[in-house]
Amino acid sequence: MRRGHVRQTLDTVGPDGADRALRELVDRFGTERVTVELTWHGLPDDHERNIVLAELAGAIRPFVCGEHGCALRRPEPAPAGDGHGCDLRPAEPRRRREQAPSGRRWSSAVGAEMASLSEAFPGVVQAAADLGRECAFDLRLIAPKLPLFDVPDGHTEQTWLRELTYGGALRRYGPREHYREAYRQIEHELAIIGQLGFPGYFLVVHDIVQFCTSNDILCQGRGSAANSAVCYAIGITNVDPVGNGLLFERFLSPERDGPPDIDLDIESDRREEAIQHVYEKYGRTHAAQVANVITYRGKSAVRDMARALGYAQGQQDAWSKQVSRWGGVNSESETAATTDIPEPCSGSQPRSRVFRDTSESTRAGW
């Protein structure tokens, strides 16, 4: 690739450096996982560069392919840009045009053109096509397929979920004749869960809740799962969706694509115990953690501080709009002269004054 390790080293250091760079990749990933790319973009040094790359690859025997790197549908838009975000203003010469844009357009004859351009390197165009087929990926392949839940002998996941649900419904709702509406709703939900193939998912979540309950770990289901009478019956949630008239289809419906989303809040001090239970029971090949890390920045800092000091909602909004997304507000900033955000607090200043430099505010312990 133009911005790849080998190509950049060839441009900046030369063939010897590119040879070392290629060998590093092969050492790390193996010959079968490294591909040397030959490109033709209509530049004067295309052929010479490809000869060097092909010779380097020939010495190590990695996969070699040829490509055109199309960035434009037609050559006409080429003067407006090079397809790589290059700044074309005369006052901004920092990035030079490294590609001939007119040579990077798509056409119906591109296959024939590539065959002609790569004549000195037999097989590289076909190799590129083969590599493309190997890399083709269907997102449907990542549809969640949970491992089969271990159910008692004589049961399927669906029949075991039904038994757990009706046992829980007896405790939650009482006998069927006392609350027929609830049992009708449960039967309706179980039919949809079975139709969509999700009984195992409910059993997995129920198992986690049971582990937390039996170990005195605070655990509570929330979100749209509270709309499910099945979740309520098996103890995942604690709000009666039937008595409160909640809509199950907001949680799970045949018309909606994808699995349901059951959120569990587990007390932070003991959450690791539940995580380790999941790893131990289902194995690390069937469990993963995903973290969402957010940054507390100036706009939120000013808004929260104003709220804490009792300023009205309108004032909170006005001050937060005076803070740039990344730079904040400080004495050297362009907006410092026009902002009316109060100055930082000190031991002798009134409590109603807040920090001016919002980039420091989070570190100052707001």
**Domain segments of the chain: what residues?**
5-139, 157-282, 298-361
> Which pLDDT value is given to residue 24?
92
Number of C-alpha atoms within 13 angstroms, CB side, residue 362?
10
**φ, ψ for residue 266 (rounded to 5)?**
-120, 135
Half-sphere exposure of 267 (CA within 13 A, CB side): 10
Nearest Cα to 310, choosing from 352, 256, 278? 352
Q: Which residues are within 8 A (CB) of 121 and not within 5 positions of it... i.e. 6 or more apart?
A: 38, 50, 54, 64, 66
The predicted-structure confidence for 239-252, as pLDDT tens digits, reads as follows: 999 999 999 999 99
DSSP state of 239: S
Residue range 96-155, pLDDT digits in tens: 444 444 455 555 556 677 778 788 888 888 888 888 888 887 766 665 677 788 999 999
Q: What is the pLDDT of residues 174-222, one digit of tens each?
A: 999 989 999 999 999 999 999 998 999 999 999 999 999 999 999 999 8
Per-residue tokens: 103: 């040579």
Query: Which of these, 225, 221, 229, 224, lies nearest to 189 by C-alpha position?
Result: 229
Spell 162-172 as b/e; 16+ CB within 10 A means b.
bebbbebbeeb
Helix (H, G, I), strand (E, B) or coil at 324: strand
Query: Cα separation of 56 and 23, whole Å?
Result: 9
Strand extents, DSSP E, 261-340:
263-266
Task: Please state which architecture CATH assigns to domain 5-139.
Answer: Alpha-Beta Barrel (3.20)
Nearest-angstrom CA–CA distance, 230 and 246: 13
Question: Cα dihedral sign for 211, 216, 221, 227?
Answer: positive
Say whether pTM exceeds 0.85: no
